[in-house]
Amino acid sequence: MSRTAPAVLLHGAFDQPTELTVAQLRELPAQQVSASFNCRSRGAMQQHNFEGPRLWDVLRTAGTQVDRGTRKVRLRHLLTVTGADDHFALLSWAEIDPDFSGRQILLATSVDGVPLDETGPQLVVPGDTCGARYVSGITTVWVGLARLDPAAAAAVPAAAAADTALAEAAQPRVPSTTDVNCLLGPGARVLCPVGPAVGG
């Protein structure tokens, strides 16, 4: 009996959930990247040559619903890439969108010339000196909106006002833009969900 080739499930902000095998990913325009990163489990820097399509091209092929016409809306989206061992990594939309950084983030179909058809593709994040986001054996890619935690959002104005009052009492002056940004920063939290179950 032949073994079923592993496939990547793309779900969330898509027209419909889509599965792509390594062979199907290989049909997309391929990029080649040489990357170095530290793998803690092996204790040394590694350098490998990866080949595969850009994650950006994979998402567009799968029919992502993220509005390409509105930059601010696109920036609110996050991606989670999960491997067969349940390890997952987060990416911001700006990391893959050519209108922003447009980094050459790949779903590699081969590493050092070795095909990954049997194990599944690997996430490649050039520029990461730590290899934690180099997720191997990818099983799912989820795309969705980041949500500001309502409780944290409600607490920010009160905390900022209290801190501003203390600062003005110590040294009366009009807070600068930098001061306000510093006061607002610590009180804000963003929820980064791994994503709902398919069909949920």
Q: Rounded to whole angstroms, how far apart are CA atoms 79 and 75?
A: 11
Percent of the chain with pLDDT over 90: 52
What's the pLDDT band for 150 if we cut at 50, 70, 90? Answer: low
Q: What is the mean pLDDT of residues 74-85?
A: 94
Q: Rounded to whole angstroms, how far apart are CA atoms 131 and 38?
A: 5
Q: Give the predicted TM-score (pTM) of the model.
A: 0.72
Q: What is the mean pLDDT of residues 83-100?
A: 94
Is the per-residue pLDDT at 105 higher than 50? yes
pLDDT at 3: 60
What's the pLDDT band for 197 if we cut at 50, 70, 90? Answer: very low
The amino acid sitting at 40 is R
Q: What residue spans of 37-176 are helical by DSSP H?
A: 55-61, 71-75, 93-96, 150-170
pLDDT at 25: 97
Is the per-residue pLDDT at 149 higher than 60? yes
pLDDT at 163: 46
Domain architecture of the chain: domains with CATH: 7-145 (3.90.420.10), 148-191 (no CATH)
pLDDT in tens, 155-176: 545 544 554 454 445 443 433 3
Measured CA distances, 28 to 2, 54, 67, 170 (Å): 25, 9, 22, 61
Q: Burial letters for 49-77: b for 16+ Cβ neighbours within 10 Å, e otherwise?
A: ebbbbbbbbbbebbebebeeeeeeebbbb
The amino acid sitting at 120 is G
DSSP class of 70: -
Percent of the chain with pLDDT over 70: 68
